Chains A and B, each alone.
Chain A
Amino acid sequence: MIDLYIILIAFLGFILFFFIHIVVFRIIPKKEVIKGLIYSYFFATFLLIFAEFIFIKHLSLLGFFISFFMYSFFALVYVLGVFGMMDSSLRIRLLTEIAHAGKSGIDSGALHQLYNKEVIISKRLSRLTNAGVINFSNGFYRTSNRITYFTLHAILYSIMRYLFERENR
């Protein structure tokens, strides 16, 4: 039974995080994505602690610790797997652009005018700069040492490339 409580509390934490990040993202400026996620995570953690120790009281400290670990893991998987994908996936953006063009669709030229290398890379450079992942000075970009979900994604991809793309190394 304790097993079920732990996962339910973890799931409750994730639900809190999900709804809080919706509210936070409607308040904060668009460029503050990382800050928004961090605020949401800690606010949901605070509410989870409050809910468990004041109202629910089913878990021991150890049980809550495991629950907190699982909740954090849910949040991480959501941010890297769903939020990140929805926020930056090119395929999803192309799909929605085509869908919004209606029944007549969109012609290849118009789509390329709307979405091309210049637009895509400029948007990403701006997003990475706003997130503090890269810095821009004197016309040059360089990486900062800040760890964000962008860098985590790049690190995980590098590991996979190292493991599976031997011919490219």
Chain B
Amino acid sequence: MINLVISFIWFIATVFLHIALHRLLENRGVSNFKTILLFPLGFIVNILFLFNIQNTTTVNRNFWNLPLPINASILYGLLSWFYIIYFASSYFGEISPSARIILLLQEKGTLPADIIKAQFTDHELVEKRLEDLINGQFIDKKNGRYVIASKAKLMVKIIDIYRWMLGGDSGG
């Protein structure tokens, strides 16, 4: 159990380190998205530490010294992945429309549909995302038409199968 606690504390420490490093670089005007590399590094350090202390754990096992290095490593990995997703969306200013509607209503109290819709533009909702897909080479734009790129075809098949399994909603 102590392994899980260590992983969690180490994850929190990595988050604080990341915030400090991010702000330090931000104040110096340096591009700082790569600061997320602290987490893979933290993951490796965590694994090395957990598997090392397991060897020194006493034979008399109780609630606290039950050795759980695999579970603790996975916990750190998943927490980091989760954090990176939210950090990336914040870094790139990519808030989902649903989250934005909730935050808007929390801030303003009550609003009619037309005021909510007026907070959004086609550019940010559609065009910016199309540009990102083009930049990521998932789609191409040829003669004013959007065409799927070959590297995204397998991905779309997997998405289609996933959606079919869940009953065929198109999502979005």
A selection of 10 A-B contacts at a CB cut-off of 8 Å is: A3-B68, A70-B71, A90-B97, A98-B148, A120-B126, A121-B116, A125-B116, A160-B90, A163-B19, A166-B23
Query: In the complex, A124→B112 CA distance in Å?
Result: 14
Interface residues of B (CB under 8 A from A): 1, 4, 19, 22-23, 26, 63, 66-71, 74-75, 78, 81-82, 85-87, 89-91, 93, 95-103, 105-106, 109-113, 116-117, 120-122, 125-126, 129-130, 132-133, 138-139, 142, 144-148, 152-153, 155-156, 159-160, 162-163, 165-167, 169-172
Task: Please pick, from B19, B116, B139, the residue contacting A98 in the complex, using a CB distance under 8 A.
Answer: B139
Task: Please pick, from B117, B144, B162, the residue contacting A121 in the complex, using a CB distance under 8 A.
Answer: B117
Query: In the complex, A38→B172 CA distance in Å?
Result: 22
Total A-B pairs in contact (CB under 8 Å)?
224
Q: Assess the B1–A66 pair: CB atoms within 8 A.
A: yes
Q: Assess the B121–A117 pair: CB atoms within 8 A.
A: yes
Extra pairs beyond A66-B4, A81-B85, A164-B19 (15, CB < 8 Å): A10-B71, A88-B172, A89-B172, A95-B148, A106-B146, A107-B145, A108-B145, A115-B172, A117-B120, A117-B125, A121-B120, A122-B117, A123-B172, A161-B95, A163-B19
Q: What's the nearest-Cβ distance from chain A to residue B156, in Å?
A: 4
